[in-house]
Amino acid sequence: MGLTSQSTGAGVLTGKLNIKVSQPTDKIVALAGNPNVGKSTVFNSLTGLKQHTGNWPGKTVTNAQGRCRYKDCDFILVDVPGTYSLSANSAEEEVARDFICFGNHDVVVVVADATCLERNLNLVLQILEINQNVVVCLNLIDEAERKQIHIDTKKLSRLLGVPVIPTSARSGKGIKNLIDAVYRVANQRIKPSSLKITYDPVIEQAVALIENRLSKILCGSPFTRWIALKLLECDNKVFDLVKDNLGVNLYEDKQLLLNLDKAISVLAQNDIHPDEVKDIIVSNLISSCEDIYNQTVTVNAKNYNKLDRKIDAVLTSRVFGIPVMLILLGLIFWITIEGANIPSALLSDFLFWIEAKLSEFFMWLNSPVWLHDVLVLGVYRTLAWVVSVMLPPMAIFFPLFTLLEDLGYLPRVAFNLDNYFKKCNACGKQALTMCMGFGCNAAGVIGCRIINSPRERLIAVLTNNFMPCNGRFPTLIALISMFFAVFPLRSVVSTLLLLGIILLGMVLTFATSKLLSKTILKGVPSSFTLELPPYRKPQVGKIIIRSIFDRTIFVLGRAVSVAAPAGLVIWLLANIHVNDISLLAYCAAFLDPFARLIGMDGYILLAFILGFPANELVIPIIIMSYAAEGSMIELSSLAELKNLLVSNGWTWLTALCVMIFTLMHWPCGTTCLTIKKETGSIKWTALAVIIPTAIGLLLCFILATAARLLGLA
């Protein structure tokens, strides 16, 4: 789910691109392109890095950097977020535009989708307008051939005046040619002489007036033409851009402003209003794209997208659209629940076998009892529980989810659900950020950058926590399996319950979004454009292996970095006694009366509080608290865990309340920090904590009270 240390680390949140150059001879290569053209795949095959890829626009919202070496040259590759144009309509596009314009790179590789070249040429031409050192990477060429789209790359290269390299990054085809072309451009073996677009004669006349003056002020900067065009479009942001990046304040140049006025009056004499300049420039640009496209591309099969349309006719149809979505989600849940049982049991047998060996080892060392207890019963046991409960469901769920993602299904979900989001005055792309939330809410919160309107983005940030993440999802599965799975329809019942919980999360997302739009985040829905990319055949084997590997690393990493230290702290709390009562028991006793009101007990609520660093910890803390209080139990299966819980007074109501509270309480520490960074405000972060917590408390209270009044529990 795009969840790497890069995408959740602190460094990515600064907005600007910081390039780490280790030697002055390093060549910087920017990788630009429309969203969803396989830029990340090209990046991965060039660098061997494992940037997560997915078939939906906006996957790369933060930038990855990687290195690669070719011949005698070291390249630093920068994966720039996808953008359709350089006019920068959203925060993330602005980052891309700034880097492409002023990023101080040696070569720009523009990745274009061969199956949809006309649309991609728009960005190619805009980049060529600024930069000469460009290589066009015509990706997905095999896909295009399959659809019988033939592209005359030689002619395209001649028309554009830069190298055009057909590639199929997924299979690695053409990647060597690509890096070779980059090498030659970077070392000036080829001098590209890129196409200059000639605009309407009146526009050209006006541009000339400004450009002359600009090239004097900016000492022959390559951007003068582009800046002149922006000035004519009355895009006033360009003043700041020039000031920030080239250190020249254009407002101070009287002559330039005079020339600008003159240029505008030339336009006015020809009946061109400043508002229309942009239209004319874009129209010229798009006509050029159309012209180049018509000269270089032949499509043999007229209905090359027929299959996609047929699939869409089912997946987004009025009758089947929503049911298919729920069935697919349910199917994934079912496979996860059904499949996780056996590896979970095996893993826990294995890890507790190691625990026994560790204990023997400590005895053999003659180490003090307290040391053994701290390290083995505290640190190791927590770690073992986190790994055995969390890992199997995640290692099954994520590859399946990634398959859907790779296929291109997720944008269809956004398409299907957009109307509901619109009714809540929010954005359909929120559906995509919710999907990312499944992986990690912190990643989901960062992903909200794909939403253009700041108001809608804030709504998406504040509600992301309603999607159970990596750390909470397996807790839900474990609780369902223990308390609600009744034979003979065990897995079906579990699946439906899990689906119910997720739907509850979705309903609350909608309700909260609506509430926010009507109160503190008032506003009307902004404009919405969403690309539905072509379906692609997922590389099943590769995804499954990659995704299992990623998840394993992720879960293990979290277990070691968070669960192990937390295990230590909790063991100490449970075993340091004051007046024969442990600190843990003191705290739990304090919380108990309140916790009873919401259907839980003091230990459970304390576990949620202590689980703030990571939600994975909640169940291990509960186990350790109970185990430390009572006799030590060997916990090697869910059935034994259930016995422990039941003997501590758990009923179905407790389990249900814990599940609801798992879905709805404060976001974990990392997510809170991320929200603070993304919104830049303590106030919004506090709200992101308060909203789900309040709803969770309220629901649990109602449920517990109702069940008790009705005598059900």
Partner 1 sequence: MIDQGYIPLSSLPIGRTARVKKLNCSGLLRRRLLDLGIIKDTVIEALAKSPSGDPTAYNIRGAVIALRSEEAGRILVLPYREEV
Chain positions contacting partner 1, by CB under 8 A: 84-85, 87, 89, 115-119, 122, 275, 278-279, 282-283, 286-287, 289-290, 305, 308-309, 312-313, 316-319, 321-322, 415-416, 418-420, 422, 428, 525, 527-534
> Would you tell me the crossing angle of helices 381-407 and 430-439 to the nearest 10 degrees?
150
The DSSP annotation for 87-145 comes to T--SHHHHHHHHHHHHS--SEEEEEEEGGGHHHHHHHHHHHHHH-S-EEEEEE-HHHHH
* 505 versus 525: smaller Cβ distance to partner 1: 525
User: Sign of dihedral through CA atoms 502, 686, 571, 598?
Assistant: negative
Which residue in the block uniquely carries the two structure tokens 């003979």? 488
Cα end-to-end span (Å), the chain: 40
Tokens of 261: 């006025």
3-state SS assignment for residue 337? helix
To the nearest whole angstrom, how small is the minimum distance from the Cβ of residue 86 to partner 1?
9
**Least distance from partner 1 to the Cβ atom of residue 116, Å:** 5
User: Between residues 413 and 617, which has the closer beta carbon with respect to partner 1?
Assistant: 413
Report, in Å, the least distance between residue 402 CB and partner 1.
Answer: 22
Burial pattern 446-455, b for ≥16 Cβ within 10 A else e, equals: bbbbbbbbeb
Instruction: Kindly state the smallest distance separating residue 291's Cβ from partner 1, in Å.
Output: 13
Q: Closest separation between CB of residue 206 and partner 1, Å?
A: 19
The SS3 assignment for 612 reads: coil
Using the minimum distance from each CB to partner 1, give the nearer residue, 142 or 312. Answer: 312
Q: What are phi and psi of 138, to 5 degrees?
A: -90, 90
Tell me whether residue 322 or residue 560 sits nearer to partner 1 (CB atom). Answer: 322
d(CA 431, CA 411): 8
Distances (CA, A) of 357 to 118, 172, 351, 361: 65, 46, 10, 6
The least CB distance from residue 82 to partner 1, in Å, is 13
Strands 107-113 and 149-151: unpaired
Residue placing its CB nearer to partner 1 in the complex, 148 or 681: 148
Q: What is the residue type of 230?
A: K
Residue 284, both tokens = 């010229």
Nearer to partner 1, 1 or 116 (CB): 116
Tokens of 51: 């940037």
At closest approach, how far in Å is the CB of 130 from partner 1? 16
Residue 192 C-alpha from the chain's centroid: 36
CA–CA dist 207, 224 (Å, integer): 10
Give the nearer residue to partner 1 in terms of CB position, either 286 or 609: 286
Which amino acid is located at 448 in the chain? C
Quote the tokens at residue 316. 């987004």
- Give the nearest distance from C-beta 36 to partner 1 in angstroms: 10
Nearer to partner 1, 101 or 185 (CB): 101
CB atoms within 10 A of CB 85: 17
- β-partners of residue 315 are none
* Closest distance to partner 1 from the beta carbon of 282 (Å): 4
Q: For partner 1, which is the closer residue by CB, 325 or 446? A: 325
Q: In what order do the strands lie in the sheet with 164-166?
A: 64-70, 73-79, 27-33, 107-113, 134-139, 164-166
Query: Would you say 317 or 647 has its CB closer to partner 1?
Result: 317
Nearer to partner 1, 58 or 692 (CB): 58
Q: In the complex, what is the shortest distance from the CB of residue 626 to partner 1, in angstroms, rounded to a whole number? A: 47
**Minimum gap (Å) between residue 318 Cβ and partner 1:** 5
Q: Residue written as tokens 């400590």? A: 362
Transcribe 195-210 into DSSP letters.
------HHHHHHHHHH
